[in-house]
Structure 1
Amino acid sequence: MARERPTALLLDFDGVLRHWDPAVAAGIEREYGLAAGVLGEIAMHWGRLQPVLTGQVSHADWVSSVADALTESVGPDRARAAVQQWQRYRGEVDADVLAFVREVRAAGVRVGLGTNATDLLDTDLAELGLVGELDVVVNSSVVGVHKPAKEYFQAACDALATPPARVLFVDDEDWAVRGARVAGLSAYRWSGPEGLRYLRAALGC
């Protein structure tokens, strides 16, 4: 049986609407004598990351824990300075995706941001000029559960006031796409702006 045409769009943030230049972290690691890739490795360690993505600890506490983990390598002062410099970079908005968001909203499609994020998300959205560009923001640290849990996607559909079968989810991670499909949403694996043609067709825009 053919699926119903989606009437709402749920977009991932990092890797879809926001991108990170890996050269920034690499430059900081070189400047402070850190091993290549260590900032991301420590920050994204699941035991450290999961609590901040579900609101159990603050973004500030998570950042402090990253600096603490680097202390043995370069000492506490340099570790804190490196992490502070790393955190000043908040990524870059994908202009093509933002233009698409504006286009589909103008066509009457509700658009939500569906992201595993910390309590810094609202600040990031403001700094990146994205306030008002989305109908809803569904932040895992506010919801208390993260993608790919079914409960997360149900909360996102509730926020969009749209049943799962009418929501199209876009993410650059296979595990998130699979989770959305299990929860009853349509889902598309994002790999770059070439995917916009498919999304326009799927939404009828």
Structure 2
Amino acid sequence: MLRHWPVPGHADLDRLHGLPAGTLAAAAFTPSRLHPAITGKITDEQWRSTVTADIAEACGSMDRARAVVTAWSDLMPRVDQEVVALLKRARKAVTVALVSNATTQLDSDLARQGLDVLADAVVNTAHIGVAKPDPRVYLIAAERVGAPVHRCLFIDDTAADVTAAREVGMTALHYREPEESPRRLLSAPRSPGSPERSIPNQLRGRATLGILANPHQHPVAVFARRSRRRAARRPGRFRRCGRSVA
């Protein structure tokens, strides 16, 4: 939700470097290649080195392969400014945690695009050893904001991750289109029988509101409300939980 892949030019890298379509994606994002990188078994540098080695034959030399991987690494995802504005507004009242299936480069990537100031906590799966949809990711995210999972709202663009969030007890929404407004997603009425029906009503009295997003390296967020006793005195206000950075 916060950052959108692929970016313009991503699909053109193979063609520009004389490679069969899909060569780079197959080398980088095959589960057996990507999973070790997003669970911290290998570093981002090691991951990109293995991708370079994998495409060297197709490129004709290691030098050409390195050039392809360098060009790919230099691409930056599009930042959704509406989500940025929403998170900035939310952070004035609540704790925000960004959660991402990401490599060890996530922190520097966020800083490079000025996104490292949007959250009180970052849960990078490369630092915790498990990736969505592993239920432990959601439990860790809730722990980082000091709230039980049943008081969290999860939003993701991958159906499997949304299902996993519901299975651990979170309320969850499936973000289906990059053009879909986060505000409209949160407020839109759900069809009868939908597990996402009446989301605003489900959130009443909850302690935490969260938005989590899917990568390739797309982050997430979790917000925490005041305790019920204090909230009763100041309706609609929120307390800020202690900060924790992954």
Give the TM-score normalised by the residue count of structure 1.
Answer: 0.86
Residues 23 and 92 of structure 1: is their aligned pair in 2 closer, same or farther, counting only changes over 3 Å? closer
**CA apart distance, 1:110:** 2.4
Which is further off, 28-37 or 194-203? 194-203
**CA apart distance, 1:22:** 4.2
Corresponding position: 1:199 with 2:162: no
**CA apart distance, 1:21:** 3.8
Match of 1:98 in 2: 84
How far apart, in 1, do the equivalents of 2:155 and 2:62 lie? 40
Which is further off, 22-31 or 71-80? 22-31
Offset from partner CA, 1:93-119 (integer Å, 9 cap, x none): 11011111112223x232221110010
**CA apart distance, 1:139:** 0.7
Match of 2:193 in 1: none
DSSP-derived class of the 1:26 partner:
coil
How far apart, in 1, do the equivalents of 2:163 and 2:52 lie? 34
Match of 1:9 in 2: none
Report if the CA contact (8 A) 1:25-1:39 is conserved: no
How far apart, in 2, do the equivalents of 1:172 and 1:41 lie? 21
Match of 1:55 in 2: 40
Corresponding position: 1:39 with 2:62: no
Q: Which amino acid aligns with 2:108?
A: T
How far apart, in 2, do the equivalents of 1:40 and 1:188 lie? 28
Corresponding position: 1:110 with 2:110: no
How far apart, in 2, do the equivalents of 1:94 and 1:114 lie? 16
Give the TM-score normalised by the residue count of structure 2.
Answer: 0.72
Report if the CA contact (8 A) 1:92-1:128 is conserved: no
Q: Where do 5+ consecutive residues of structure 1 fail to align?
A: 1-15
Match of 2:168 in 1: 183
Percent of counterpart pairs with the same letter?
A: 37
Q: Where do 5+ consecutive residues of structure 2 fail to align?
A: 188-198, 205-235, 237-246
Which is further off, 28-37 or 164-173? 28-37
Measured on the aligned residues, the alpha-carbon RMSD in Å equals: 1.7
DSSP-derived class of the 1:25 partner:
coil
- Looking at secondary structure, tell me which structure has more helix per residue: 1
Corresponding position: 1:23 with 2:12: no
How far apart, in 2, do the equivalents of 1:58 and 1:139 lie? 13
Corresponding position: 1:133 with 2:118: yes
Match of 2:146 in 1: 161
**CA apart distance, 1:84:** 0.8
Match of 1:89 in 2: 75
Between the two proteins, the alignment pairs up a number of residues equal to 189
Query: Counterparts of 1:63-78 in structure 2 under 5 Å?
Result: 63-74=48-59, 75-78=61-64
How far apart, in 1, do the equivalents of 2:96 and 2:153 lie? 10
Match of 2:222 in 1: none
